[in-house]
Amino acid sequence: MKIIDGIDYVSLAEAKRVARRVADCLRRRYGATKVLVFGSVVDGFYVPGHSDIDIYFEGVPREDEMSVTGRLMLDFADYDIDFRPAGLCHPRFKASVLAEGLAI
């Protein structure tokens, strides 16, 4: 693990472990019913130090999505994670993530 500007740049294997930890947190704490990792972590283009961990989630009440996202950003502040709650995604983006994402 390499730390640059306070962010941990982790290997692909570690990025997948972090994604599973995020998914577990989303389900246990916030009631998420679906959590997907997408983007470079699943498409083979993940580059430590340049790529982030993309997480999409469903099942959190729409009115709570922003506050949950904020809490997750604080809880996982050591990692470069892009959180995408379902209710805040454009329908085409959501369809793409659902088609190409990996359930975790």
Residue 28 tokens read as 């246990």
- CA–CA gap between residue 70 and residue 2 (Å, rounded): 24
What DSSP assignment string belongs to 14-57? HHHHHHHHHHHHHHHHH--SEEEEETHHHHT---TTT--EEEEE
11-29 pLDDT tens trace: 999 999 999 999 999 999 9
* pLDDT tens per residue, range 55-75: 999 999 999 999 999 999 999
Contact 82, 10 (CB under 8 A): no
